[in-house]
Structure 1
Amino acid sequence: MTALRTDFDTPQPGRFSRSAAGVGLAFKRALVSQCHPTMLFAVLMPFLIALVGAFLLLWLFWTPLTDWLRVEASHWDFVNRTDEWLVAMGLFSLKIYLVPVVAAAILLPVSGILGLAIAAVFVMPLVLRHVGHREYAGLAVQGKHSTAVSVWNAVWVSAAFAAGWLLTLPLWLVPPMALILPIFWWAFAFSRMMRVDAIVEHASPAERRLLIQRHNGGFWVIGLICSLLNLLPPAWIILPVFSALVNAHYGLEALKRLREERVIDV
């Protein structure tokens, strides 16, 4: 009788350095993969969907949302006092600028998470076929119900992101939360959305649980780096596919090493 030896529960010297090296290798391989014509073409789908989604959201909800925000802002004593002080100083009216900024901060991330979800569900299989045939050809496919798992993961992550983003918006008024919270929520989205889809086709359910448990920190580092890149608007075009490539390389390499671990007799 045999069993797969796993040393997750025992201290491992150098695990952090190996994890960092794995993240660096994943980004290096993802840059190479992203330059392939197939992956360059794959960029178009999530970008166009996010663009169309942003246009529809702004067209359908901008006026009612800004009207509602103006009514709500008129009831906020802090906003009213600050607005009166700024006007008295001859500067500007806070409400004129605050309402459009808040409306954009609500609607635009919704279109962004939609593009990321589309990339996770529909583009990730294309990414896995591309990198799997080229660099992980010997990795057996042992996943079960991959489509259902991918869709469910995209739905709950999108819902959690949207709810968390909206509920923490008032904290943006507390410095420096306006910078920290967007970075955190996008790191959450990039890591939680992509890490499951990266390994769901190849890893068995047991392997998937172990990989996510063992490499949770590495996936979060990838999400944090992608979140920081997300602060640069030009990166919005390629980030859904590029983040899928990074997570695919990281997850499949981790799965490859997991299966190479020594099998011992019990």
Structure 2
Amino acid sequence: MWPQSLQEKQEGLMQAILVAFGRAVVSQLHIRMLLLTVVPFVLSMLIWGVVLWFCLNAMMDWTQAFFLENDGFTTASNVLTWLGLATLKTVVVPLISMWILLPLMIFTALIFVGVIAMPFIVRHVGGRHYKGLEQRKGGSFFGSLWTSVSSFLIFLVLWLVSLPLSLIIPFMFVAQALLWGWVTYRVMAYDALADYADAEERKAILKQHRWPLLCIGTLATLLGAAPMLLWLGGAVFLFFLPVFATGAIWLYVLVFVFTGLWFQHYVLQALATYRVEHGDAGPKDVMPLLDLPEIAEPPSPTTPSA
């Protein structure tokens, strides 16, 4: 029966996600992957060191002026008191300022990892675990850039629209996790398939596995909770802002490198399975495969003949 088949396929996909996670953990512990965090971290630090040095005070002044003009302090005080966070009322301006800058900081780290680290991740995972998989070069640098920029612009609009949900704690975490999970999977999945899949294969993989890929992106977003708290903690303890910001940026880079490994293992296995299932596996593609089924659409009801 179809429901039983769907359940089996969902279990297979969950198994594939967990297997890719385990392989990503092992890959992350490799010295090359640990060193791979250095360059994106240094570049992110240089950019955000300059931004915070020259722009943070201006951002805080603008936020304070906006709050004064719109009675924002009273509203923020009431909300924080209702949440049991009344002690944060004295740092609401720097907290809001750092919260506004947070998506830009995360996206900067994501872009640097995508541009600098992902090519090394692709070669590391493909060369060590998928030597027989043919590279069909269906992606490009400009395709990756367009995917990243367009995804972030869509994300930014949705993030601004969802800001009112920040007043409701459960919805805030769900909305933020799903939004970041979506943009992460969009950027990472394209880069992970760019060298190995052709354009048709990439579209098919992204369509058939969009929910598992979104799941990986969302779970990876939850791993970013620690650096997010560090980043916002810099607003609470301004004296330690450089230390907190440095730790947050490095942790975000580390999380994104791990996420890249996770996506890479998943999509290459999905691609190898796709080629075998469609009879398109050449001699180079013969390799041990994990059963990685796609989620089929439910059968459409048949119309009785007249």
TM range (shorter): 0.7 to 0.9
For these two proteins, the number of residue pairs brought into alignment is: 251
Q: State the partner residue of 2:211.
A: 217
In structure 2, the residue matched to 1:242 is 258
Instruction: Determine what percentage of the aligned residue pairs are the same residue.
Output: 30
Give the Cα separation in 2 of the matches to 1:202 and 1:184: 27
1:179 Cα deviation from its structure 2 partner: 2.6
- Whether 1:53 aligns to 2:47 is yes
Distance 1:183 1:177 in 2: 10
In the alignment, does 2:20 pair up with 1:33?
no
Q: Which moved more, 1:69-78 or 1:120-129?
A: 69-78
**Matches for 1:100-249 after TM superposition, within 5 Å:** 100-233=94-227, 235-249=251-265
Structure 1 contact 191–222 (Cα < 8 Å) conserved:
yes
The alpha carbon displacement at 1:92 in A equals 6.5
- Give the distance between the partners of 1:62 and 1:162, measured in 2 at CA: 20
- Secondary structure of the corresponding residue to residue 134 of structure 2: coil
CA distance in 1, matches of 2:255, 2:75: 41
Task: Supply the distance in 2 between the matched residues of 1:96 and 1:208 (Cα, whole angstroms).
Answer: 50
Counterpart check, 1:253 vs 2:269: yes
- In structure 2, relative to structure 1, the CA distance for the partners of 1:167 and 1:160 (3 Å cut) is same
Distance 1:15 1:50 in 2: 40
Counterpart CA distance in 1 for 2:102 and 2:25 is: 27
Change (3 A) 1:22 1:39: same
Give the structure-1-normalised TM-score.
Answer: 0.84
How big is each residue's C-alpha offset from its partner over 1:50-71, in whole Å with a ceiling of 9 and x where there is no partner? 3333322212221221111112
Aligned residue type for 2:38: L
Contact 2:159 2:179 in 1 (8 A): yes
Structure 2 residue runs of 5 or longer lacking an equivalent are 228-249, 281-306
* Matched-pair contact (CA < 8 Å) for 1:211–1:254: yes
Q: Supply the distance in 1 between the matched residues of 2:167 and 2:50 (Cα, whole angstroms).
A: 28
Instruction: Write the deviation string for residues 107-152 of structure 1: whole angstroms up to 9, x where unpaired.
Output: 1331221111111122111111111111111111112342221121
* C-alpha contact (below 8 Å) 2:139/2:199 kept by paired residues: no
**Residues 54 and 107 in structure 1, CA contact (< 8 A), matched pair in contact too:** no
State the one-letter code of the partner of 1:112.
I
Match of 2:11 in 1: 17
Worse-matched range after superposition: 187-196 or 220-229: 187-196
Distance in structure 1 (CA, Å) of the matches to 2:56 and 2:166: 20
Is the contact between residue 106 and residue 166 of structure 1 (CA under 8 Å) also seen in structure 2? no
The structure-2 alpha-carbon separation of the partners of 1:71 and 1:255, relative to structure 1 and needing over 3 Å to count, comes to same
Distance of 1:162 and 1:58 partners within structure 2: 21
Q: Which residue of 2 aligns with 1:263?
A: 279
Aligned-CA RMSD value: 2.7
The correspondence for 2:91, drawn from 97, 121, 126, is 97
Question: How far is the alpha carbon of 1:31 from its aligned partner?
Answer: 0.9
Note if contact 2:80-2:89 (Cα within 8 Å) is conserved in structure 1.
Answer: no
Q: Which amino acid aligns with 1:202?
A: Y
TM-score norm. by structure 2 comes to 0.74
Q: Which whole-Å CA distance do the structure 1 matches of 2:126 and 2:105 have between them?
A: 29
Q: Distance in 2 between matches of 1:92 and 1:33?
A: 44
Distance, in Å, in 2 between the alignment partners of 1:242 and 1:85 is 36
Distance, in Å, in 1 between the alignment partners of 2:12 and 2:75 is 53
Deviations, residues 128-178 of structure 1 (Å, cap 9, x unaligned)? 111111111111111234222112112222333334334433431233344
| 1:93 Cα deviation from its structure 2 partner | 8.7
Residue by residue, what CA displacement relative to the aligned partner does 1:14-55 show, whole Å, maximum 9, x if unpaired?
A: 221111111111111111111112111111122223333332
Is the Cα contact below 8 Å between 1:51 and 1:111 reproduced in 2?
no
The whole-number CA distance in structure 2 between the counterparts of 1:51 and 1:95 is: 29
